[in-house]
Amino acid sequence: MTAVHSSTIRVLPGDAADIEDLPYELVERKGVGHPDTMCDAIAERASRRYSEYCLTEFGRVAHHWFDKVMIYGGEADIDYGRGEMTKPYTVLFAGKGAYRFGDREIPLRRILFDAAAEVLAEVTTGFDPKRHLVVECAVVDHQGAGRGHSRYQPQVLDDLIEIGDPRLVSNDCNLLHGYAPLSRLERLVLGVEQHINGPEFKRVNPDTGWDVKVFGSRSEDRFKLIVNMPFLASRIFSLEQYFERKRECEQQIAAFCQQLLGARPELLVNPTDRNGKPYLTALGSVADTGDVGVVGRGNRINGLITPMRSMSIEAPAGKNPLDHTGKLYGVLARDLAAEISRETGLAVETHVFTSKEAPLGSPDEVIVRVAGGEPAPETQERIHEIVARSLADVSGITKELVSTGIVMW
């Protein structure tokens, strides 16, 4: 008889100071044009496009994981008024996946190329996949000795698992974390990058690049921001123009901070140009000139790097959306914290642990820590209800990942 596996759900009082009460806080975000963030987005887009193809053609998703993506930057000829790529970006995909279902080919290499091209076109200016992209595919479909077919060489429909199938279990041991709400500094760092790379700022400042990195610190109630933001070399014709444009953008960023924070932080834009060299790129990223990116080296699942918070080192982008709990429970922990915080008005941490082969709806432990003392009985009951409902619909996360996508960087 198979033992019934059930989750332990615990609600605990927080015994640490609220992040806002700490005297010092540090936060970082790598923007959408940073090579590491590019890799996260490419890996996840590839997984989604592959899943969509399989659902359309076969009604189920072939097993895969594309979370080992690396981008090798290209080479560019850059000077005032000139920014031309002379060598393309190279995107390397490694991992596992099916190339065929029975005698039907899955166009894996085309899917991977298209996914990389889509993402790079969205986070650079002037990108042309025919001239600027090479994709190397090192995805394998190897299977164990003695197996006639497997999840990586599926032959019949039963080799493919349907989304929401009750037989789905965790494919690994995983430990995930979430928290809510974001602190003032976290909202500021996230908001500034999203603003600079947002449509309105880019409309007003089309000469700015996408490889925006934001560092923030808070000492008591004093905020500091460092913003690295490249400009497009083809639109900057002198060092004097560069510094004038930087000054104009800095004023816009400061005004946005005032609106978001209610105060203007100490702001430093492009500290690298203190040596007199402007921050210029061809397409808007340091990947233009050889920098390398890798999945999982950048933002955590909430879009931030927060060393003073509970933070998982899991790299979810590109992992299989059906049963990889390092991905599914990362989204779950993040969303649980947000919902519980909204419902209770309290600062919340969530921690989800699962062992391998545990049913998807029954991770081993779900720990919810709420700020303050022992939660009231009705608060604990409400939290248990939210957790139980979310665990019962883990397949809903899979459906959202495949149908509309979930940003995890």
- Closest residue by Cα to residue 384 from 4, 1, 2, 10: 10
* Three-state secondary structure readout of 149-194: CCCCCCCCHHHCCCCCCCCCECCCCEEEEEEECCCHHHHHHHHHHH
Assess if CATH 2.20.28.270 describes domain 186-284: no
User: How far is 11 from 21, CA to CA, in rounded Å?
Assistant: 22
What pLDDT, on a 0 to 100 scale, did the predictor assign at position 15? 63
| The residue to which tokens 């019934």 are assigned | 4
Contacts of residue 205, defined as CB under 8 A and 6 or more positions apart, other chains included, come to 245, 248, 249, 252
End-to-end Cα, the chain, rounded Å: 42
User: What is the C-alpha to C-alpha distance for residues 243 and 263, in angstroms, rounded to an integer?
Assistant: 25
- Distance of CA 360 to CAs 64, 389, 406, Å? 17, 13, 19
Structure pTM? 0.95
The first and second tokens of residue 88, run together, are 């393309």
If residue 212 lies in a helix (H) or strand (E), which one and from where to where?
none
Q: Is 403 exposed, middle or buried (0-12, 13-18, 19+ CB in 10 A)?
A: exposed
pLDDT of 2 reads: 47
CB 229 within 8 A of CB 196: yes
The packing angle between helices 35-58 and 108-122, to 10°, is 140
Query: If DSSP codes are grouped into helix, strand and coil, which group holds residue 365?
Result: strand
For the domain covering 8-19+172-182+296-403, report its CATH number.
3.30.300.280
**CA angle, corner 98, sides to 95 and 100, nearest 5?**
150
Domain boundaries, the chain: 8-19+172-182+296-403, 35-144, 186-284
- Give φ, ψ of 35 to 5 degrees: -55, -35
DSSP letter for each residue of 230-276: -EEGGG--SHHHHHHHHHHHHHHHHHHHHHHHSSPPEEEE-GGGGGS
Per-residue pLDDT at 1: 40
- Amino acid making up residue 309: R
- How far is 27 from 313, CA to CA, in rounded Å? 16
Distance CA 268, CA 168 (A): 50
If you classify domain 35-144 with CATH, what class do you get? alpha beta
pLDDT by residue, tens only, the chain of 409 residues: 445 567 888 998 876 668 898 899 999 999 999 999 999 999 999 999 999 999 999 999 999 999 999 999 999 999 999 999 999 999 999 999 999 999 999 999 999 999 999 999 999 999 999 999 999 999 999 876 655 557 889 999 999 989 999 989 999 999 999 999 999 999 999 999 999 999 999 999 999 999 999 999 999 999 999 999 999 999 999 999 999 999 999 999 999 999 999 989 999 999 999 888 999 999 999 999 999 999 999 999 999 999 999 989 999 999 999 999 999 999 999 999 999 999 999 999 999 999 999 999 999 999 999 988 888 999 999 999 999 999 999 999 999 999 999 999 9
C-beta separation of 363 from 326 below 8 A: no
Q: What is the largest CA-CA distance in the chain?
A: 77
Q: Note whether 8-19+172-182+296-403 and 186-284 share their fold.
A: yes
| Residue 19 in tokens | 């992040």
Pairing of strands 82-87, 266-269: unpaired
Contact 134, 90 (CB under 8 A): yes
Percentage of the chain lying above the pLDDT 90 cut: 88
pLDDT at 13: 85
Reference 38, options 270, 320, 318; nearest CA is: 318
**Using CA atoms, how far apart are residues 208 and 340, in angstroms rounded to an integer?**
39
Secondary structure (3-state) at 79:
strand
Separation between Cα atoms, residue 243 and residue 277, nearest integer Å: 10
